[in-house]
A and B are shown apart, each in its own frame.
Chain A
Amino acid sequence: MNCCYLREAVTFCSLGNTPDEITHGIHSNPIEKYKEFTFGTEIISRQYRGIKDKKVTGNDEFYAVLEQLLLELITKSHLDSAQMEECALLIGSTSMSIPCSEPIFKSNPNETMLPHIGYGGIGECLAQTFGLGGEVSLFTTACTSSANALLYGQMGINTGKFQRAIILGFDFYNELTMSGFESFGLLSRDGCRPFDANRSGIVLGEGCGAILLDIIPSSYNSQLILRGGANRSDTSSPTAHNTNGIMVAQTIRDALCDANIEPCNVGLIKAHATGSETNDRAESTGAQQIFSQMPPVLALKSSLGHTLGGCGAVELAVLWFCLREGFIPKTYGFEVMDDSIEIIPSQGESEAKEGILLLNHFGFGGSGVVLVVQFGECE
């Protein structure tokens, strides 16, 4: 069985567009930024974490940003043409090309058709631009989209289906998504507070992340290895996992089993932690069914915003940058423990130690993906 290494990663997010900017930015409280959008006949404003110094407001910028991201990944990885020819491209996103169509719709409100129909075109265009010859797959499973792409990439490498795969996760700003979340009353007005008793909802974010999974280790001193994971479906509600935590626990259990890891060996949980009460409750209840002693818990969405389908790739890239710098970041936004949940996420930075990390992802449509990652050398 092949070992699935993270060989390289690049991400553009609200903290910055380079590992240095991101690891520097994550040392400080997230800057409050607001976005105005149309909601019915009103213009309203909600917190939003847009990508630093980049705007995606149409087709050209959409592809320009994704191409820049992939170019940086390919350049930093030193992929040769033979490796590119057989490299798979696995894409996960919730909004896909909506940010391309929406501005056209907005300026022509009597438009009757989406100008950019179909998911495959995104993959085909990017594969052609860079001469990526392997399988092109697109995953659209809400907030677990790019986590599913990572899991499938690991399975493909383990089984020898391919030797390397670029995982591309992204979600760019669009009013449809902002309005949709607002229609559920899920958007926070004063910031994301994961697991906090005074939580007030989600802060959406924008981001894109590209990760090269490979049978070849990375050139960095410390390796990150994707050991396995599980995808499980909770059908109790279309919008959230059941707060009884049963399916969250099942997904964690199956992920650990797939990676051949005992719960007691998990050194860190990177929680999904959207800052919504239902997610906090379902995730913590589920985790408590698996771990007799809860490992340290980290939440990144209070720093990055919730990058939806992109969060699997974006948050893994950000976490890897921090681990390479030798630290596990602080969870921002948490102040008061919710007595009914009893989870206190990381309250300060701590030293990164080799070990097993659990990465949780839960989304609309009952989708749950838990990934198991090893920080350190392959056995």
Chain B
Amino acid sequence: MKPLYIEAVSLLLQEVSESSLELKKELEHTSGQKFRRVNHFVLLALAGVFRLPNLSTIDSQCSLYVGTANGCVRDVIKMLEQMYRDTLLPMPFTFMGTSTSMAGFHIAQTLGLSGSNLTVSNPYGAFEQALSMAYTEMESGKSASALVGCVDEGVFPLDEFKKITHNDDEVVLEGGCWVKLVLECANPLAVIIARESFKTLVEVEDYCEKYVLNEPLTVIRNAKSGYVGASSGIDYVRALQEQRSGMIALISQTGLMSFSVTLTRILG
């Protein structure tokens, strides 16, 4: 397989907020642009992307993979409330906001991307799904770079949101993580050296043991959780940000009898 380099990573995590004001302020600062008529979900995605360095040099053919567990739930609820509780005429802007792929649209528009643009999910880990698809596309030579991320937003009332999404955390977070993958890089953070699929977790663990041998290994597993689909992606990005050497095994369930492992060597 071709090595895929990780050129940059970013995290955006915040306590679930009803207001989008801080996100807009941050985006104005990081992107130099003002964003109007975009919803909270899109702002979370954009603000996360704009925490990545060197975006001005991004290739217009860079692919974009946005993972999400729940999508733009707030605007779906808002539109249903407008329709049935308030009996208001639905507004085109609100309807557009119910389309989760609008996050990908606004990222592509802001960065001038015209390559593949996908919004994807998976019952076990949306970030891993996005990463896996980008990996497949790049490995098959269809793309030389990809932005891969995961975004989820919280919804009020939080107690009910926590109950429905099986989230036991005291502080509920929203946001996500981003990774920029490239085939060639002068100064990479890390390199993905292998990605394999297996039918059982035992096979995954055996593979890691044989492959990694004596290198220090950080194991990150996806955990089925109502909270952001990026839960293990966040741990993965944190490890990439904090560690200076060693390997990371991102172990993911991808289906009922399907598991994958992505092995990443940190280059410091």
Contact = CB atoms under 8 A, between A and B. Distances in A.
Interface size class of A (residues with CB under 8 A): 35 or more
Contacts of A373: none
B118 A238 contact: no
A216 interface: no
A110 B85 contact: yes
A62 interface: no
Nearest to B80: A105
Contacts, number: 228
Given A113-B160, A180-B95, A135 B258 contact: yes
B100 A105 contact: no
A307 interface: no
B226 A232 contact: no
A131 interface: yes
A40 B76 CA distance: 16
Interface string B52-72: 000000000000100011110
Interface stretch (A49-57, A328-336, A360-368): A360-368
Given A106-B84, A176-B80, A117 B70 contact: yes
Contact of B112 (A133, A161, A232, A235): A235
A183 B117 contact: no
Interface string A143-187: 000001000100110110100000000000001100111111000
Interface in B99-140: 99-102, 104-106, 108-109, 112-124, 126, 129, 132-133, 136-137, 139-140
Given A120-B121, A232-B115, A367-B117, A102 B256 contact: no
Interface stretch (B19-27, B86-94, B168-176, B203-211): B86-94
Contacts of B123: 120-121, 123-124, 127, 136
Contacts of A141: 101, 104, 117-119
B233 to A, nearest CB: 15
Given A109-B84, A159-B140, A232 B116 contact: yes
B35 interface: no
B77 A113 contact: yes
A258 interface: yes
Contact of B197 (A94, A161, A235): A161
Contacts of B254: 134-136
A140 B142 CA distance: 21
- Counting from the closest, the 8 A-B pairs by CB-CB distance are A180-B95, A133-B257, A120-B123, A124-B123, A235-B109, A40-B89, A233-B117, A119-B121
9 contacts: A94-B99, A101-B80, A137-B133, A139-B119, A141-B118, A183-B90, A235-B113, A364-B96, A366-B108
Given A117-B161, A133-B255, 14 more contacts: A39-B89, A113-B77, A113-B164, A120-B122, A131-B256, A132-B256, A133-B257, A135-B132, A137-B121, A141-B101, A233-B105, A235-B112, A239-B96, A365-B117
